[in-house]
Amino acid sequence: MIPFKYQEFYTHATFPYRHGIKNLRVFGTAMPSKTETVASFVEAAPPGEVSRPPLLSCRDAPDIKSLTYDDSQILQSLQPAFKKYNEEQFTTVKLPGSTETVIVSSFNELGDGRYFDSANQSSFEFDHTTQKASSVQPHTLDSQHAELIISLLESLSTHAAEHFPASSIGVYPTENDSAIALVIVANKYSPNNFWNGRWRSVYIFTPSSSTVAGSIKVDVHYYEDGNVRLLTEKPVQISGVDDRAQEIVKQIARVEKKYQEDLNKAFSNLSEGAFKGLRRQLPVTRQKVEWEKIGGYRLGQDIGGGRSR
């Protein structure tokens, strides 16, 4: 599959004038370092494409290699960016010998490149550049909320199965074991149709205050003969949540449903609002422009746009 190539579209772009730019427009006052620049590309990578997992991983980053003259030191210095990307995007990975995926996030990080999974009661080493897991070891969940976490895993898993055709979940103790993080990530990649999508939910339940705080984020990338991106973020705040797993997940389910309905409404609002207001489908006359008589429009109608107002 060879996707759309920009350059074909610009073969005829011959330019009228020959003077180059004197004042370089591109350099701001404070120029970031090469590493910072490339790291910003890594962190902003869209949801993964199957053929190039996830676009900028070290092993498979032809664009970055090319732009940085295949500077191996640059790729080495990008380690923190790959880590940040994987943890923020809730990258999922299959443990060796397992068919189920587990999540990589800041909530289940053990340090030294290791992460744990509460459902499997195991820990694993994660390579942020290849996105592969290795050296799995048993890991006992050490938390005062261990029992609640186990029930939450069950309730959240039921919820996820009911609403996400393909997703991974995680429940971890966080904030020095004073709270519990619930994470859902759903990916759908359709590179043959030039789109990929990701849904991320994170909810922090704090038993002492009976609150759930978190966010829902949606990221959709469409790239057939173009580049279109939907990015959303919805902060979540629920109070008065008692510490029963079913109750917590019920509240979460309610918030997610409401958000998805609001999001659907937002699409039609944008279509009927901003989009319609930018360009009409046809002029008020419901007829295409009569270009042969274009001068007549000026005489016949008072059209005075484009002037200073």
Check residue 50 for interaction with another protein (CB under 8 A): no
Applying CB under 8 A, which part among 57-65, 77-85, 97-105, 140-148 lies near another protein?
A: 57-65
The owner of tokens 């897991």 is 133
The owner of tokens 């917590």 is 248
DSSP string, 80-93: HHHHHHHHHTT-EE
* Closer residue to another protein (CB): 36 or 100: 36
Check residue 220 for interaction with another protein (CB under 8 A): yes
Check residue 239 for interaction with another protein (CB under 8 A): no
Contact residue for another protein among 2, 12, 29, 138 (CB under 8 A): 12
Check residue 76 for interaction with another protein (CB under 8 A): no
Q: CA-CA distance, 161 to 148, in Å (whole number)? A: 20
Contact residue for another protein among 1, 25, 99, 242 (CB under 8 A): 25
* 136-175 residues near another protein, rule: CB under 8 A: 161-165
**How far out from the chain centre does Cα 279 lie?**
30
* 285-304 residues near another protein, rule: CB under 8 A: 285, 288-289, 291-292, 294-295, 297-298, 303-304
* 185-204 residues near another protein, rule: CB under 8 A: 186-188, 195, 197-199
Q: CA-CA distance, 296 to 285, in Å (whole number)? A: 15
* Closer residue to another protein (CB): 59 or 134: 59
Check residue 1 for interaction with another protein (CB under 8 A): no
- Contacts of 105-114 with CB under 8 Å at 24 or more apart are 105/170, 105/172, 105/181, 105/183, 107/170, 107/172, 107/174, 107/181, 107/183, 108/170, 108/172
* Closer residue to another protein (CB): 147 or 233: 233
* 240-269 residues near another protein, rule: CB under 8 A: 256-264, 266-269
Applying CB under 8 A, which part among 39-47, 78-86, 148-156, 243-251 lies near another protein?
A: 39-47
Determine if residue 196 is left, alpha or beta; phi over 0 gives left, psi from -120 to 50 gives alpha, anything else beta. beta
Q: CA-CA distance, 110 to 112, in Å (whole number)? A: 7
Question: Residue type for 236, please?
Answer: V
**Strand, coil or helix: 114:** strand
